[in-house]
Amino acid sequence: MSDATAKKEERRKFQAIRGTRDLLPPETELWNRVEQTAHEVFATFGYGEIRLPTFEQTELFSRAVGGETDIVSKEMYSFFDNPDISELEETRDVVRELGPTVNTQAEQESFLFYLSQFISKVEQRLAAGELILSSTALSDLSALKNTFQELQVLPDSADAHTNDKRKLLTVEILVALDLLKFGERVSLRPEATASVCRAYIEHNMQQLPQPVKLYAMGPMFRRERPQKGRYRQFYQIDAEVLETVRPDAAKDAAKELAKDAVIDAEVIEMLMTFFDKVGLQGATLFINSIGHNADNCRRGYVAKLKSALEKVKDKLGADSQRRIDTNPLRVLDSKLESEQAIIATLPHIADHLCDDCKAHYAAVKRQLELRGVLYQENWRLVRGLDYYMRTTFEITAPGLGSQNAVCGGGRYDGLVELLGGPPTKGIGFAIGEDRLILALQESGKGQAQQGRDVYIAWMGERAYAAAIRAAKDLRNAGFSVELPPVEQKFGKALGQADKLGARYALILGDNEVSEALWTLKILSTGEQQKSVSS
Ligand code: ATP
Ligand code: MG
């Protein structure tokens, strides 16, 4: 590399990765205000904050969110988390090198020796908990061990049959060695519900007073096409209510359903209270019930929907045509203009709910009315994640273009059980914080307070000492203070104060110090006032 190229490389300008962005002041003040409001409002409803890891085992998300969903099938950031296995890799390399050249008895023995070394090292580290193997890797390891044993018991004879068998087993071993992957597949979280459920199980929260009410906030990651309101790292504010089913709950099914409806309505009431408190205008709440997974409910409806879709298949776009087989409900989500008239003729799920789901949905609406929460029903609101059942809801806000959903949520009874926990009911929502902030800014509610309270204009050594004391006192009293590090003429200092949007300038010159006076200038009016310094 020439010196010139090296210099150029050195000065390379880095940029944030596409779909990620820096949140800068003063906008971050608005983010803090929104988050602070969430802490306060959620606390008044008895929720506690849970802070979750940013990455988890990939399998947690593929199980919870669903392998067929867009999120899991194409949007997750996943990687292999490798432990420090250099010693194992060295032994593995020796076996790999020996394998293809085994001919003599001695070479065979040395191949088997290093292979057994490799296997026992892996097993030791597994036993010591220094190595984690995915379930696939564990079965790859046991396949390797079986082939190894087969090779070991092979007679020494050099007849053609035994030789062929030996060669075959050696090749099998080399392939198995290549396949064996250490470490585990992990993903940056694309959403929070799966992690909350995992934590609920891991910390035995079913032993806490039920229901358990939790909220979380932080970044989520999805590899989507970046556009306004859609990023690859975005932020969610998430709340979940989990309740392990009592063994005797089935005895009083009607009562349980009514209780669930109250919980659903209260979750939505909290959400709308939060939106109200942050000053979001024009938010619209859409609700629906997507029933539960049974023949006399959603499964029956999906079958009817599917056959209705088959009849109009030719008139649908490619995406919807594909979804007829993979996930017919998602066709209802379509925003394609040409499909809208056709979708309007499809059967509605409300006409196919079982009696329980019907009763639950009616109770949710009643409970919302009781709480003065306005809603609109939207029979096409199905949500894209696998785990939802019964109540689904979404909130849209104006000013966001086509990315106008600021929150999505729903009930997910059964998810905790699917992840290995006890039978548990759940409901929750996720607010898209980026979009909420955009909506607040669009409606003029996003003005962050800029600037400082006080700019200290000082000149002279003694004045500087007084300025430091003044800054300390003012900051202790909670004012934001700018104390310039170098002396400047008062005219320049006042200009600087203006630029920073300061409300007051505190003027300290040697005159002021010797007279023990402070001159305070109100920058918006130019009014000036002297007072005795303490
Ligand atoms: P959309 O239909 O807009 O893609 P979604 O159904 O995928 O949303 P959820 O998984 O329900 O979204 O997430 C809840 C909320 O998180 C959304 O309503 C939205 O406000 C926000 N959100 C989702 N994906 C993104 C993203 N890539 N960038 C910014 N916000 C997002
Ligand atoms: Mg999406």
pLDDT tens, 340-359? 999 999 999 999 999 999 99
Give the Cα separation of 388 and 292 in Å (integer). Answer: 9
222 Cβ inside 6 Å of ligand 1? yes
Strongest mean pLDDT among 81-90, 318-327, 473-482: 473-482
Contact 309, 328 (CB under 8 A): yes
Give me ligand 2 centre to Cα 436, in Å.
16
H-helix or E-strand containing 492?
helix 490-499
How would residue 49 be classed by pLDDT, with cut points 50, 70 and 90?
Answer: very high
Q: What CA–CA distances, in Å, run from 435 to 268, 282, 475?
A: 19, 14, 34
Contact 387, 193 (CB under 8 A): yes
Q: Identify the pLDDT of residue 531.
A: 78
425-447 mean pLDDT: 93
Nearest in space to 289 (alpha carbons), one of 314, 266, 264, 326 = 264
Give me ligand 2 centre to Cα 224, in Å.
8
How would residue 506 be classed by pLDDT, with cut points 50, 70 and 90?
Answer: very high
Residue minimizing CA distance to atom 24 of ligand 1: 230
How much is the pTM? 0.84
DSSP string, 170-233: HHHHHHHHHH---BEEEEE-S-SHHHHHHHHHHTTGGGSSSSEEEEEEEEEE-----BTTB-SE
Question: Beta strand 481-482 with 454-458: parallel, antiparallel or unpaired?
Answer: parallel
How would residue 5 be classed by pLDDT, with cut points 50, 70 and 90?
Answer: low
State the sign of the Cα–Cα–Cα–Cα dihedral 360, 361, 364, 366: negative
How would residue 162 be classed by pLDDT, with cut points 50, 70 and 90?
Answer: confident
Q: Does 7 have pLDDT greater than 70?
A: no
For a mutational test of ligand 1's pocket, the pick from 220, 406, 411, 438, i.e. the residue with the most ligand atoms closer than 8 A to its C-beta, is: 220
Q: Does 409 have pLDDT greater than 80?
A: yes
Q: Rounded to 10 degrees, what is the CA torsion of 257, 263, 268, 273?
A: 150
Indicate which atom in ligand 1 lies nearest the CA of residue 406.
20
Cα 444–chain centre separation: 28
Indicate which atom in ligand 1 lies nearest the CA of residue 435.
20
As given in the structure block, the two tokens for residue 524 are 């918006």
Give me ligand 1 centre to Cα 220, in Å.
10
Indicate which atom in ligand 1 lies nearest the CA of residue 384.
6
How would residue 250 be classed by pLDDT, with cut points 50, 70 and 90?
Answer: confident
How would residue 483 be classed by pLDDT, with cut points 50, 70 and 90?
Answer: very high
Cross-strand partners of 81: 184
Query: What is the residue-averaged pLDDT of the chain?
Result: 91
Residue minimizing CA distance to atom 23 of ligand 1: 432
Contact 479, 453 (CB under 8 A): yes
Contact 415, 241 (CB under 8 A): no
For a mutational test of ligand 1's pocket, the pick from 280, 286, 434, 438, i.e. the residue with the most ligand atoms closer than 8 A to its C-beta, is: 434
Give the Cα separation of 332 and 320 in Å (integer). Answer: 9
Indicate which atom in ligand 1 lies nearest the CA of residue 429.
14
Give the Cα separation of 224 and 354 in Å (integer). Answer: 36
Give me ligand 1 centre to Cα 57, in Å.
22
Angle between helices 105-127 and 135-152 (to 10 degrees): 150
Give the Cα separation of 80 and 180 in Å (integer). Answer: 13
Q: Identify the pLDDT of residue 528.
A: 87
Give the Cα separation of 145 and 173 in Å (integer). Answer: 9
Share of the chain above pLDDT 90, in %: 70
Q: Identify the pLDDT of residue 359.
A: 96
Q: Does 4 have pLDDT greater than 70?
A: no
In a 10 Å sphere around its CB, with 0-12 CB exposed, 13-18 middle and 19+ buried, how is residue 490 labelled?
middle
Give me ligand 2 centre to Cα 492, in Å.
51
191 Cβ inside 6 Å of ligand 1? yes
Residue minimizing CA distance to atom 15 of ligand 1: 432
As given in the structure block, the two tokens for residue 492 are 């320049």
* Cα radius of gyration (the chain): 32
